Amino acid sequence: MNSFEIKSAQWPLVSLLPKTGNLQQVALDLLAQYGPGSDNADFFDHDALLLDFSRLTGPVAVPEVKALLVKLSACRLQAVAFRGCQADQIEVLQALGLVEAPVDVFRSSIVPAAGPDAVTPQPVDREVVHQVVHEVPGPTAMIIDKPVRSGQKIYARGTDLVLLAIVNQGAEVVADGNIHVYAPLRGKAMAGASGNTAARIFSICLEPELISIAGVYRTSENPLAADIQGKPAQVRLSDDGQEKLLFEPLNT
């Protein structure tokens, strides 16, 4: 089991939640999954990161935090803030250049490790995005009628995204609302990017590299069920408070 979780905190900030006080192990696991030479070396692109120690019961070892910051940088992550540490360690962490983040600023999206459908972040192949198509700030859905090529990224800010052609492997489609793909979805799809847990993803041929809703995601390393893979399906979050990704076939 991984010694950490990575979740979206507040778009585009991500959070790292150590599951163990052994931050040396966390650093090693990070390097193994996202460090130089790993299969996911380009997963992050110098993203800002929140260190969330709220799941730990004891104090954090400051020397281990320093070493962890170095390893995060090697994984193309930039730690900028922290939360959840003991009161007597706040000034020490601030001296490392980190800012204390108020608890109520960041939305929690921890997935309980219970049940077969519980989803935890796993290594994902991520292509470096070289091209960003346009952004539409208005309430009308963004409609794309051309194939999305590998290396392209489309972000529908504040609205739904409708795609009428294939999303190829290595492509990335992101929306603050829902994502509708009336073609094969073979790249990465991230709905509810700003934290909308009611967002959904629809495709007439679901075979993605990565699926994410409000920061809860699943990769192709977890094979989809036979009645979902390559079939018409929708993806949504469960409404039981556990934030599990649910994959459901669509009747066509």
- What lies within 8 Å, CB to CB, of 252 at 6+ separation is 204, 232
Confidence of residue 138 (pLDDT cuts 50, 70, 90): very low
SS3 at position 120: coil
Residue 105, pLDDT > 50, answer: no
Residue 94, pLDDT > 60, answer: yes
Tell me what percent of the residues of the chain surpass a pLDDT of 90. 37
**What is the structure's pLDDT at 183?**
94
Residue 129, pLDDT > 60, answer: no
**What is the structure's pLDDT at 239?**
86
What CA–CA distance (Å, rounded) separates 169 from 185?
8
- The domains of the chain, with CATH numbers, are 4-105 (3.30.70.260), 131-249 (2.160.20.70)
List phi, psi (to 5°) of 35. Answer: -75, 175
> Does the pTM of the predicted model rise above 0.75?
no
Q: Roughly what angle, to the nearest 10 degrees, separates helices 62-74 and 23-34?
A: 0
**What is the structure's pLDDT at 68?**
93
**What is the structure's pLDDT at 113?**
37
SS3 at position 97: coil
Tell me what percent of the residues of the chain surpass a pLDDT of 70. 82
pLDDT tens string 41-92: 877 777 788 898 988 888 888 889 999 999 999 998 888 888 888 888 888 8
Asked if 17 and 110 touch (Cβ cutoff 8 Å), the reply is yes
**What is the structure's pLDDT at 9?**
56
